[in-house]
Structure 1
Amino acid sequence: MNNVLLVDDEYMILSGLERLIPWDDLNLKLVGTASNGQEAYDFVKDNEVDIIVSDITMPLMSGIEFSRKLKSEGHSVKTIFLSGYQEFEFVKEGMALGAVDYLVKPVDSKELVATLTKAIELIEEEKEQSTYKEMQLAQQFKSLILGDGNAEEYIKANNLESISDFNVFIGTSTSEAFFDYLDKQANISYIEDPGQDKMIIGLITGMGKEELSLFYNRLADMFPKDVFIFAGTWQGSYTEINASYCVAVKLQESYYFYNLVQEGCIWLELNNHLEELYYDNSEDLPLISKSDTSKRLHDKIEDMILYIERNPIPPNHVRYITLLLLSDALTFYNLSPVESYQKQIERVKDIKNISEVREVFEELESNISEVISERSYSELTKKAIEIVNKDYQKDLLLKEIAEELFVNSMYLGQLIKKETGQTFSQYLNSYRMKKAETLLLKSTKTVNEIATDIGYSSTGYFHRNFKETYNMTPREFREKFQALG
Structure 2
Amino acid sequence: MIKVVIVDDEPKLRQGLQTLIPWESVGFTVAAAAGNGREALKIIKEEAPEVVIADIRMPVMDGLQLIEHLRAAGHNMQFIILSGYADFEYAKQAIKYGVVGYLLKPVNIGEMLATLKLVRGRIEEEKQKRKSPQAETLDRDLYLHRLLVPQEKPGETIKPGAGIGQPELLWSSYEVVVIVPRVPEADLPDALNRLAAGLKALAEERNMGAVTVISPHVVLLLNTPLRGSQRRDHLYSEIRNIASGIRFVAATGGAVTEARHIYNSYAKAREAAKLSFFSDRDRLLEPEYPPVCPPVPTGLPEERNEEPMRDLILRLYYCLDVGNKDMVAPLLHEAAAVYCRQRQDEDYVKQAFFFLCNGIIHKLAAASRLEGKETEKVSHFLNGIYQHDRLQKLIEDIRRFLLDFVEESETQGKELEFKRMIDFIHKHYAEDLKLSTLAGLLNYSTPYLGQLFRNKTGEYFNTYLDKVRIQKAKELLAQGMKVYEVAEQVGYTSVNYFFSKFKRYEGRSPSDYKNP
TM-score range, shorter chain: 0.3 to 0.5
Larger Rg computed on CA atoms: 1
Q: TM-score, normalised by structure 2?
A: 0.34
